[in-house]
Chain A
Amino acid sequence: MRRLPFSPWHLLLMPLALIFVLPLVQMVLTSFMTSQEINQFPPKFLPTSIHLDGYRTLLSESNILQWFGNTVLVSAIAVLSHLVLCSLAGYGFARLKFAGRGLAFLAIVATVMIPIQLLMIPTYLMFARAGIVDTLAAAFVPWLASAFGIFLMRQFFLGLPAELEEAAVLDGCSTLRTFLSVVLPLARPALATLAIFTLLSSWNDLLWPLVAISDDSKFTLQVGLASFQGTRRTEWSQLMAGNVIATMPLIIAFLVAQKRFIATMTFSGLKG
């Protein structure tokens, strides 16, 4: 690679990068400290040795493994359901002409501006009547599909050239068959985008499961962590261990899929 000369931009970017990443490094380091080390003055940045007490106590005294499992389950259902339902709907709105299409799409557009805080109260009542409050279903039902997912997929399908589908239709394929074997394979980048966004928002959701779930064993990671923080404010090594467990899977996923992720933001952000 050609060596580039030193640029003054480094003077801006290096400190910025540190500000953004050091707190996360400290979170990981603190999770390996003893409470004595944490309470020292002046504060220490590096642990003297790696202590696993924070993790050990967290694992034995809280349901964190269960919360982890719940979160994985809720997110997996959210992602899968988004992939299926939103790609179907996106295709329907992009390519199929049917009575009521305009009205249905308008209704979906209208939902975007409604704040979740307004929906919380009636949704809670609805779920209570359906008997699913305090179950994991309460956590994933609102994540089965989203206006955002429908827009994203519709947008993608609108941009696909129609010739391939026309050829399939001429060959006698049904609409579903055309969708499954011609259109969907082309939609992989959009599906990856949708999966990433859904994973990110369902994994990190706090407010709704906080409202809908009160049984400790049904908590998701975010709710569990917040409740844990309420009861053990001072046990920082445990709190940081919990934070690491809740944050690291997504950070690792991000590091692995970084290119795709940035492309995602670009793709969904503003082109046009």
Chain B
Amino acid sequence: MALTFAATPRTHQQVAPRPRGRRGRAARRTLTGWAFAGPATLIVVGLSIFPAVWAFFISRTRWNGIAPARDVGWRNYERIATDPDAITAAKHTLLLTALFVPGSIVLGILIAVALNQKIRLIGFYRTCIFVPYVASAAATGILASFVFNPQFGAANEALRRLGLPAQQFLESPGQALLVICLIALWGEVGFTAVIYLAALQDIPRELIEAATVDGASRWRTFLHITLPELRPVTVFAAIWQTITAMQLFDLIYTTTRGGPMNSTQTIVYYIYELAFQTQRLGYGAAVAYLLFVVTMLLTVCVIWYSRRSGSEAF
């Protein structure tokens, strides 16, 4: 939910503070402030910081939720390194992220550029491309398992018409993760397309016109003017989509549930299984902490890189 980080306003306007009177007035002001901000703060912080700290203590225990928890120190964390299931899940998560993030950025830019043209039917195109984003990942997953059904699905029918061999898609260990990535792109690219579209419309027209007057081709203008102008959005999109990819759950749950033969088992799905299917709460929490740390490191890296290269979005 980091959406508005990006939107740091240029001007901070503040109501001029009322003249400070006695101490009573300051106390009153603090009370008013907390009356406004308190309830929401309490809910947000209470439902995240507190559980996050608690999760850390759980992650250092061996616990099934019923019998008393047994303290095991760092053993859960040590075990992750030698747990073949965790390593496989991590590999799948990384592969998914490595495919999904660049995919949604490149596709997002391409679609946004196309949707930014002043041509007929543009409103219709925008609607079509954005609608899948509104559908839930659960519904998308169910729909996808229909479309990619090896026997009667539309995907194989399309391949057949093109004279290509039928595929197993979600039922093949070699293809399932790729198909899930494609479905995720289908469902999420509307988001990147729209934020790129907004950014494109924000680029000062004079910049493009100046380049055209100077005799730059459209492609060169795109490469040297448009793309650099889109960099802050790209930083934001990269972070946002990384978080989306690393936390992808609904789609996997409603298509393959980690199968076939664990080929779509990701870290998030593994955590769900550990904690809520096999009741290994301590170990599940440890794996979840690892996910947290990796997500945070990736985010920090992207921000650091973008600061260094001077395209700060944050």
A residues with a Cβ closer than 8 A to B are 4, 7, 9-10, 12-14, 16-24, 26-27, 30, 38-43, 45, 85-86, 88-89, 91-93, 95-101, 104, 107-108, 110-126, 141-142, 144-152, 154-155, 158-162, 165-166, 169, 175, 179, 200, 203-204, 206-207, 210-211, 222, 225-226, 229, 236, 239-240, 242-243, 246-247, 250-251, 254-255, 258, 261-262, 265-266, 268-272
Contact = CB atoms under 8 A, between A and B. Distances in A.
Given A20-B128, A123-B47, A200 B134 contact: yes
B37 interface: yes
B313 interface: yes
Contacts of A122: 50-52, 54-55, 58, 285
B289 A118 contact: yes
B164 to A, nearest CB: 15
A132 to B, nearest CB: 13
A239 B142 contact: yes
Given A9-B114, A225-B142, A145 B43 contact: yes
A98 B15 CA distance: 13
B4 A268 contact: yes
B51 A266 contact: no
Interface in B211-247: 232-233, 236, 243, 246-247
A23 B129 CA distance: 12
B275 A20 contact: no
Nearest to B250: A206
B22 interface: no
Given A89-B41, A108-B45, A120-B271, 5 more contacts: A85-B39, A93-B37, A121-B285, A222-B136, A250-B136
B46 to A, nearest CB: 9
A69 to B, nearest CB: 17
Contact of A269 (B143, B236, B247, B276): B236
28 contacts: A7-B117, A16-B125, A16-B129, A19-B186, A96-B33, A99-B33, A111-B48, A112-B5, A114-B52, A114-B292, A118-B52, A118-B292, A119-B47, A119-B52, A120-B271, A123-B51, A148-B1, A155-B4, A160-B13, A179-B36, A226-B254, A229-B145, A240-B146, A269-B7, A269-B199, A269-B233, A270-B233, A270-B236
Contact of A88 (B11, B36, B151): B36
Interface stretch (B75-83, B96-104, B153-161): B153-161
Interface in B7-61: 7-18, 26, 29-34, 36-41, 43-45, 47-52, 54-55, 58
Contact of A151 (B4, B139, B299): B4
A180 to B, nearest CB: 12
B281 interface: yes
Nearest to A250: B134
A151 B2 CA distance: 9
Nearest to B249: A207
B111 to A, nearest CB: 7
Nearest to A242: B142
A262 B24 CA distance: 47
B201 to A, nearest CB: 8
Identify whether the interface residues of B are mostly helix, strand, loop, or mixed.
Answer: helix
A77 B160 CA distance: 48
Given A42-B157, A115-B247, A204-B136, A146 B44 contact: yes
A226 B141 CA distance: 9
Main secondary structure of the interface of A (DSSP, over half): helix
B85 to A, nearest CB: 16
Contacts of A89: 36-41
A245 to B, nearest CB: 10
B137 A206 contact: yes
B247 A119 contact: no
Contacts of B124: 17
Contact of A113 (B43, B65, B143, B296): B296
B191 A265 contact: yes
A250 B135 contact: yes
A158 B12 contact: yes
B8 to A, nearest CB: 6
A24 B135 contact: yes
B143 A98 contact: no
Given A112-B1, A113-B296, A269-B236, A254 B120 contact: no
B291 interface: yes
By Cβ-Cβ distance, the 6 closest A-B pairs, closest first, are: A98-B33, A92-B36, A92-B37, A204-B136, A89-B40, A148-B1
B67 interface: no
A121 B198 contact: no
A145 B44 contact: yes
Nearest to A11: B114
A121 B13 contact: no
Contacts of A91: 36
A28 B140 CA distance: 13
B184 interface: no
B131 interface: yes
